[in-house]
Amino acid sequence: MRAYKELSESELLTLKEELSAQYEEAKAKGLKLDMSRGKPSLSQLDMERDFLDMIHSDSDVKTEGGVDCRNYGLLDGIPEVRKLMGDMLGVSEDQIIVFGNSSLNIMYDTIARAMIFGVIDSTPWCRLDKVKFLCPVPGYDRHFAITEQFGIEMINIPMTEDGPDMDLVEKYVSEDPAVKGIWCVPKYSNPQGYTYSDETVRRFAALKPAAEDFRIFWDNAYAIHDLYEDEGDELLEILSECEKAGNPNLVYEFGSTSKVTFPGSGISALASSKENLDSIRKTMTIQTIGPDKLNQLRHVRYFKNIDGMKAHMMKHAKIMRPKFEAIIQVLEKELGGTGIGSWTNPKGGYFISFESMAGCAKEIVKKCSEAGVVLTGAGATYPYKADPNDSNIRLAPTFPSEEEIAQATDLFVLCVKLASVEKLLQNKQELKG
Listed residue (346, 351, 354, 340) closest to 161, CA to CA? 346
Q: How far is the CB of 279 from a copy of itself (least distance, A)?
A: 13
Q: Do 69 and 267 meet the contact criterion of CB atoms below 8 Å apart?
A: no
Q: Do 249 and 275 meet the contact criterion of CB atoms below 8 Å apart?
A: yes
Q: Does 79 bind a copy of itself (CB under 8 A)?
A: no
Q: What is the DSSP letter of 210?
A: S
Q: How far is the CB of 259 from a copy of itself (least distance, A)?
A: 10
Binding mask 258-277 for a copy of itself (x = CB under 8 A): ----xxxx------------
- Residues between 135 and 174 that touch a copy of itself (CB under 8 A): 142, 145-146, 149-150
Q: Does 77 bind a copy of itself (CB under 8 A)?
A: no
Integer Cα distance of 6 and 314 in angstroms: 44
Q: What CA dihedral angle connects 84, 87, 88 and 94, to 10 degrees?
A: 80
Q: Do 214 and 172 meet the contact criterion of CB atoms below 8 Å apart?
A: no
Question: In which element (H, E) is residue 381 found?
Answer: none
Q: Do 355 and 391 meet the contact criterion of CB atoms below 8 Å apart?
A: yes
Residues in the chain: 433
Q: Does 283 bind a copy of itself (CB under 8 A)?
A: yes
Q: Does 49 bind a copy of itself (CB under 8 A)?
A: yes
Piece of 24-32, 53-61, 310-318, 338-346 that binds a copy of itself (CB under 8 A):
53-61
Q: Which is nearer to a copy of itself, 104 or 119 (CB)?
A: 104
393 backbone dihedrals φ, ψ, rounded to 5°: -130, 130
Q: Which is nearer to a copy of itself, 284 or 340 (CB)?
A: 284
Q: Could you give the 3-state DSSP secondary structure of residue 355?
A: strand
Q: How far is the CB of 53 from a copy of itself (least distance, A)?
A: 5
Q: Does 45 bind a copy of itself (CB under 8 A)?
A: yes
Q: Do 195 and 230 meet the contact criterion of CB atoms below 8 Å apart?
A: no
Q: How far is the CB of 419 from a copy of itself (least distance, A)?
A: 29
Q: Which is nearer to a copy of itself, 371 or 395 (CB)?
A: 395
User: Applying CB under 8 A, which residues contact a copy of itself?
Assistant: 37, 39-40, 42, 45, 48-53, 55-59, 61, 68-73, 100-102, 104-105, 108-109, 112, 115-116, 124, 126-127, 142, 145-146, 149-150, 262-265, 283, 286-295
